Structure 1
Amino acid sequence: MNRERLIGKIFIIISIIMLLVCNIVYAEDVDYNIGKSIFKMLFSTIAFILVIILAIYGTRFIAKNSKKFVNSKYMRIVDILNLDVNTKIAMVEINNYLYVFAINNNTIIMIDKFPKENLIIKADGDFDEQLKKYKQKYAYDNEFLDKLKQKFSKPFKKVNNSIDKEDRNDEKKH
């Protein structure tokens, strides 16, 4: 504790001595010249602009060269949609198939896989029209599956709809 006080006192004494001994410096030059001041200002401005330009082109160069390390021969990222800070949906092309992935902090889940030929994107078309065409393309398969679901769900609906006396009384009250 005494040592800490001694160090504190020494620090205070040194700072007081520095404040009293040091001369105050003014921004004054013996050879003051307006031309020299303008030259210094122009030189500083040009140097600042050059540093900014080098930073811009340097980042572009690094970005172009880093694509070589990110790209792959067998995979290509078609699109990425950021849903949240930690959640993304990515569409990746692998061997003429498109995979849709949900990417989170800790997990990657494959949502869908379909042939590349099935995806036709027209920038000039309306999204609703494209969605209808896509739905119509698979309407036959969906109709078959719907009929199959209906056939299998009928027996299960009968079992699930059986209501006992207590449930009937509750339904009558509401």
Structure 2
Amino acid sequence: MTTKELVAVLARITGLPHATINQYKRRFIEGGRFPCRTGAINPPITTEHVVLLLLALLADVPAKDAVTTAIHYANLCDDQGNKLGEKLTELLDSFKTPTAYAALTYHSRIEVDCGLPRALWSIETADGQHEAIFGIQDKLWADIRVRKSLTISGKCLFDLGMIIHGWPKGV
């Protein structure tokens, strides 16, 4: 997948305008975080690139702050020391092949707090709902102020994972 294709996919999944996502993408290229097109060669991107751009969009920051914000959010840790960026990359990569983990992550959602470095990953299982908080570890119900957050569903993550990994092949 190229950056141009990623912009189109994220515009469809997030509902954000192509122009907005292009601004963010441009900042990642200028900041050296995304591969730069050279002539006719449009280099492919990795799942890590997808995760950084997605986190910047979900954090709802101005394009000029996209790179630093995405890196900050990607480095948020849960109480087990897992980083949000690594877990989200693992989640999207789980859709490379049909596995039990991929089925489980389909029933998840990621809620990113805007302006407050925190994210919640919720997974619905047969045993109930499991949550992992990345960043500030206070329980969400204990917030002392109104918070704004954006949520991406497991279905959207599934669609994104299928597209970046080229599913379905030959169907």
Question: Normalised by the shorter chain, which TM-score bucket?
Answer: under 0.3
**Greater fraction helix:** 1
Bigger relative contact order, structure 1 or 2, given CA contacts below 8 A and separation 6+? 2
TM-score, with structure 1 as normaliser:
0.24
TM-score, with structure 2 as normaliser:
0.24
